[in-house]
Amino acid sequence: MSLSVLSRKEKEKVIRRLLIQAPPGEFVNAFDDLCLLIRDEKLMHHQGECAGHQHCQKYSVPLCIDGNPVLLSHHNVLGDFRFFDYQSKLSFKFDLLQNQLKDIQSHGIIRNETEYLRNVVLCALKLYVNDHYPAGNCNVLRKTVKNKEFLIACIEDHSYETRDCWNGLWKSKWIFQINPFLTQVTGRIFVQAHFFKAVNLHIEISKDLKESLEVVNQAQLALNFARLVEEQENIFQAAVLEELQELSNEALRKILRRDLPVTRTLIDWQRILSDLNLVMYPKLGYVIYSRSVLCNWII
């Protein structure tokens, strides 16, 4: 169906859905392409703002405020397209299309024991992220639900190589309640890659997990939590690499009717030429293969 026959509400729904589906790092590209099709600047700007806000939450878009990394997520949303940063104690709007902070305001927080623990956990998590990620970002948020205090730790690292026709994102989220003796950590690790050279290939892999942590004191809790994240993410990474290798091998087996041998040994071409009764032309310096023999070897 042509866009010209859609109502305005239908257009808004289609535009928003297409923009939200944009892979990490490609939102602006998708927006620019849609602008060429829609040719309605006002409509595109409004839908771009709405979809951009959701895109930031979905993929934990990183910012830098006062030299500190901030990861945007639905956990630090205040409403009216505003986000909140615990470190700088600022609330703001973020224009993804312009990559710009807007309407920055002060926003106070309650200083209590949970806030102190949040800072301790953030310090431990930063040590882990700096040691394992080339350009990783992390943030720790706090949330109160039904008078229960929770900490939410977020990790993000990405590599957007549009010129080389690929983009990749790794992000994880870890939530645990502030309990006296034992707490349960709920985690989710998510990886997405997009390859668009010669083929358009999307890969999404995620894993949900639950682990328990003993609570001795705040410092020990922070260290144990960082170790738990490191252990689980290392296990996940190893499993992903193994799965991708198996997938690659399986795909090749479907393309090729039989596996080509890889022996890592020298090949005795003279013996092979003799066995196949190939015709040699020394002056020309190459071998003419029988079409039937060559085709049979390839197939």
CATH class of the domain at 113-255: alpha beta
- pTM value is 0.78
Q: What is the pLDDT of residues 256-267, one digit of tens each?
A: 445 556 665 666
Q: Which residue has the higher pLDDT, 199 or 10?
A: 10
The confidence band for 93, taking pLDDT boundaries of 50, 70 and 90, is: very high
124-145 burial: b if 16+ Cβ within 10 Å, else e: bbbebbeeebeebbbbbbbeee
Write down the CATH number for the domain with range 8-106.
3.30.1140.60
- Give percent of the chain with pLDDT exceeding 90: 42
Q: Which residue has the higher pLDDT, 245 or 85?
A: 85
Domains 8-106 and 113-255 share a fold: no
How is the chain split into domains, by residue range? 8-106, 113-255, 262-298
Q: What is the largest CA-CA distance in the chain?
A: 89
User: Is the pLDDT confidence value at 115 over 50?
Assistant: yes
Q: Which residue has the higher pLDDT, 53 or 252?
A: 53
Q: CA 178, CA 71: separation in Å to the nearest integer?
A: 22
